[in-house]
Structure 1
Amino acid sequence: MEGYAKIAERISKHPELGIYRRFGALNAQNILYLQAEIHELEADLRNYAEEDAAQPRDSERSKYSRNWHKLSSSNDDRRQWNTVCLIREKLKEYNDLLAQQALITRYYRKPRGYDLDILRTCLRSTSLPDYLPGLDSTIWDDPVLSQFDLVSLHPDNPEADDRLTHWISSYFIGPFHHLVGRHFKAKSTDFGEENLTDYSDAAIVKLSSILATVVSSVFPIVGVIILFFVQDLLARIGIIASLTAVFSFVLVVMTHARKVEIFAATAAFSAVLVVFLGADG
């Protein structure tokens, strides 16, 4: 098995590699063209309606605006009804396109960088059965497309998408595998002959949680130790302000915590340190 069949098999085993183009510019251009077409049809419909309404009162056409049956079944000038039918078809197509684009914008997310890197590795190497030699192989390589036009169908996992987990996946796993992991970690049976190793998201998330827990535990202890050795009151206030600022910065960088959660955690952290503000050391 090779080529697209191999890529499809790999995606079925690793859904996070299901990364596709949404063709945002082409979809927008298509909607714009359809919008312009409907806009002109609307103008034509208004003109035909005015022309029909201006006919003598005893004519069939003069009754079109008040009698749907005559409008739809009359053998007289049928331009107005034909335009209505055409607009109906175009509006259905237009509304479907808008709904699809709204769905893509709302539910599909940008692919994670390390998932995209893995997919690129599989597609670039001539020794792998996924290798694509044609123009279609550049879909995942273009930096502009990677930034704006690629979407992932893999369900969003907030625990695996925080900044700390992303950093571990992007910058730690590679060096770790090169120095240590390759001596202990067996090749994944999913990748077998391709000599690729699979590190599960669950293990990475667990490592991220352990690291975040350790950091959150160490911060108050470090603050208390520093305040214990500082006697000057103004210096203590400055240290508390600095540590609180660093703590809130770490929360922003390492997590996807909401503003209210950051405020609450920062307030609790500063409250612990303030207890030692008036302590006599």
Structure 2
Amino acid sequence: MASSSRPPSPVGIHRLSTQIASDSTLSIYRSFTALNARNLLYLQTELASLEDRLLRLDNRANDMTKGVHQWSLPRSWRAMRDENGEMWMTAMEVRKLLEAYNQALQAQAWLHSLKRPTPRARDALAKLIDHGSTSELDREYIALNHKDLISLGPDTKNEILAQFLEKYFYKFFRTPVESTTVSDFSAYASIRSAVRVLAIIVSSVLPISSIFVLYYIHSERTRLGLVVVFTVLCSTFLAFLSNATNVEIIAATSTYVIP
């Protein structure tokens, strides 16, 4: 009976991709902004040249002394297609190049809308790349191109408490990365789950506690002061436990205060 052998551990790009898949905060890649801009400039130059050629063909065809057929080329798609000459070929080149140019523009706009990775996520990726020669990339490559990096992971900019926990208490949320001996690092998914649970608890306890406290206190001044305290607590927790905008916080606080 043949003994079952343990499958070999992944190496190289396979290993690095496994590590990135284990935590979405590691989904960090180069956007190649300069190359994309150069590609757009090349396409733009080619289109400008084709546009100039097409205008020259239009002007040449406008000369009625060359016959009705030649004069009708820029005015009739059928005549231009049947003639199957330089104007038709130029129009086909323009169509193909415009499609590539518009797609490149949309891709560039989308790339500019993506966020930058956090320094902690960038350092974690550099650490993984350095360990075990997972690829031809290295820490220096990440450092030299840090302004050209984009993150496909969850957005942490609007969650103040999540940022605070990741910065100062990340050790409590570390999760092991599969197929690596590198030290564990912060997993934002765990932090976000903790913040979500805390938000649910606060949103349930705060209104109920305010009702009970105000019910058993009869002093008008004390009740008024407690209303102010609970209102401040409500807006503060909204700001720290959610990604609500200022307008949303004001609206929610007004709803909490005004019965």
TM-score (norm 1): 0.65
Q: Which residue of 1 aligns with 2:124?
A: 118
Relative contact order: is structure 1 or structure 2 higher (C-alpha 8 Å, sep ≥ 6)?
2
Structure 2: gaps of 5 or more residues: 1-9
Letter in 2 for 1:65: P
Task: Quote the Cα distance in structure 1 between the aligned partners of 2:55 and 2:30.
Answer: 40
Where does residue 47 of structure 1 map in the other structure? 56
Equivalent residues in 2 for 1:1-281 (5 A)? 1-56=10-65, 58=67, 60-74=69-83, 78-104=85-111, 109-111=115-117, 113-124=119-130, 128-130=131-133, 137-142=139-144, 144-145=146-147, 149-152=149-152, 154=153, 156=154, 162-174=159-171, 176=172, 188=176, 190-194=178-182, 196-197=183-184, 201-212=188-199, 217=205, 244=231, 247-271=234-258
Question: Does the CA contact (< 8 Å) of 2:25 and 2:187 recur in 1?
Answer: no
**What is the aligned length?**
248
Q: Say if 2:18 and 2:178, in contact at 8 Å, map to a contact too.
A: no
Which deviates further from its counterpart, 42-51 or 239-248? 239-248
Deviation, structure 1 residue 249: 4.7
Closer, same or farther: CA 157–137 of 1 in aligned 2, 3 Å: closer
Alpha-carbon distance, 1:117 to partner: 3.2
Which letter maps to 1:140? I
Q: Report how far residue 247 of structure 1 moved.
A: 4.8
Deviation of the 1:39 alpha carbon: 2.8
Q: Does the 8 Å contact 2:12/2:135 carry over to 1?
A: yes
Q: 2:132 aligns to what SS in structure 1?
A: coil
Q: Structure 1: 5+ residue runs without aligned partners?
A: 182-186, 273-281
User: How far apart in 1 are the matches of 2:132 and 2:66?
Assistant: 76
RMSD: 4.3
Quick check: 2:116–2:150 contact (8 Å CA) kept in 1? yes
CA offset digits 1:28-76 (Å, max 9, x no partner): 332233224313422331222011111415354222123434434548x
4+ residue runs over 4 A deviation:
102-106, 130-134, 198-202, 213-222, 235-247
Letter in 2 for 1:89: K
TM-score (norm. length: structure 2)? 0.69
Cα distance between partner residues in 1 of 2:65 and 2:247: 70
**CA distance in 1 between partners of 2:257 and 2:249 (Å):** 12
For 1:193, what is the secondary structure of its paired residue?
A: coil
Distance 1:213 1:59 in 2: 78
Q: Distance in 2 between matches of 1:81 and 1:189?
A: 58
CA contact (8 A) 1:3 1:132 kept: yes
Distance 1:167 1:191 in 2: 29
Could you tell me whether the CA contact under 8 Å between 2:19 and 2:177 is conserved in 1? Answer: no
